[in-house]
Amino acid sequence: MAEIAANLKLIYNKISHAATKRTSEHRYYEPRLVAVSKLHSAELIVSAYEAGQRHFGENYVNELMEKTSNQLILEKCKEIKWHFIGSLQRNKVTKILTVPNLYIIETVNSDKLANALNNSWPRFRKSDDSKLNIMVQVNTSGEKEKHGCDITEVLTLVKHIINNCDNLKFVGLMTIGMYGYDTANGPNPDFLCLIKCREKINDELGIDIKNIELSMGMSTDYEQAIELGSTSVRIGTAIFGNRPQKNTLKEEKN
Ligand SMILES: *Cc1c(COP(=O)(O)O)cnc(C)c1O
């Protein structure tokens, strides 16, 4: 547990240091750390929270529901901000929108999913004019098993969200990117691709770059992502250590 605080401290320092290496045009914000707690216990989340961490990321709707109704988390993590970063099926939309402290859904990848979120949000929001924060997930590597929208569809999807989804707030773009890219080969092409997508949105839709976040970078490559302009890095392993297998966690709970 003390280890988590130490890991976080190291990562905060590395993030700050990487942020100083950005070009001047990218220096208008402090990058955010999202602690990816999927498959880790409520106790570990509490220790990260007590070490000052507020933003947490989860991939599975059911697991997120369990965690947000966990007594320990309810008691000790009142200001927690949940990021949903897993693939979201439309039939789970009404479920996920009940999550208290849901901060953002980073994985909107189709107009159908955007519409479903847009139509359901008024039933769940606490104040009449609050919008649901969303990011558009882009499949920058073009790998079939990845869930984001195709790079050729990003502009259309963002346009649809802005023009037709009044209850959603378009916050930015997210990518997972190819696993195991060796940064010795130069800047990660997935990161460069996401930056290009943002430029295109800026050109074509006139949205200021500063109002389009980039969620990119994980445990092994977050420093490089920040140097290139990432505004939000999603880090699991470097904070919490290796994840337990999905079924192991289930057994522990029984
Ligand atoms: C699991 C996961 C992460 C964190 O990965 P680590 O390598 O453990 O830092 C980040 N983003 C997404 C979408 C994930 O599923």
CATH number of the domain residue 106 falls in? 3.20.20.10
Residue 248 lies in a domain: no
Mean pLDDT confidence for 91-98:
97
pLDDT at 145 > cutoff 80? no
Residue 253 lies in a domain: no
Ligand 1 pocket test, candidate residues 36, 215, 226, 243, most atoms within 8 A of CB: 36
Q: How far is the CA of 36 from the centre of ligand 1 (A)?
A: 6
What total number of domains does the chain contain? 1
Does the pTM surpass 0.85? The reply is: yes
Q: How confident is the model at residue 129 (pLDDT cuts 50, 70, 90)?
A: confident
Residue 91 lies in a domain: yes
For all residues of the chain together, what is the average pLDDT? 94
Q: Which domain holds residue 88?
A: 2-242
Q: What percent of the chain has pLDDT over 70?
A: 96
Residue 251 lies in a domain: no
Residue 250 lies in a domain: no
Residue 85 lies in a domain: yes
pLDDT for the residue 254: 33
Q: How confident is the model at residue 218 (pLDDT cuts 50, 70, 90)?
A: very high
pLDDT for the residue 253: 42
- Nearest residue CA, atom 13 of ligand 1? 85
Q: What percent of the chain has pLDDT over 90?
A: 84
Ligand 1 pocket test, candidate residues 234, 237, 243, 245, most atoms within 8 A of CB: 234
Residue 252 lies in a domain: no
pLDDT at 135 > cutoff 60? yes
Residue 83 lies in a domain: yes
SS (HEC) of the chain: CHHHHHHHHHHHHHHHHHHHCCCHHHCCCCCEEEEECCCCCHHHHHHHHHCCCCEEEECCHHHHHHHHCCHHHHHHCCCCEEEECCCCCHHHHHHHCCCCCEEEEEEECCHHHHHHHHHHHHHHCCCCCCCEEEEEEECCCCCCCCCCECHHHHHHHHHHHHHHCCCEEEEEEECCCCCCCCHHHCCCHHHHHHHHHHHHHHHHHCCCHHHCEEECCCCCCHHHHHHHCCCEEEECHHHHCCCCCHHHHHHHHC
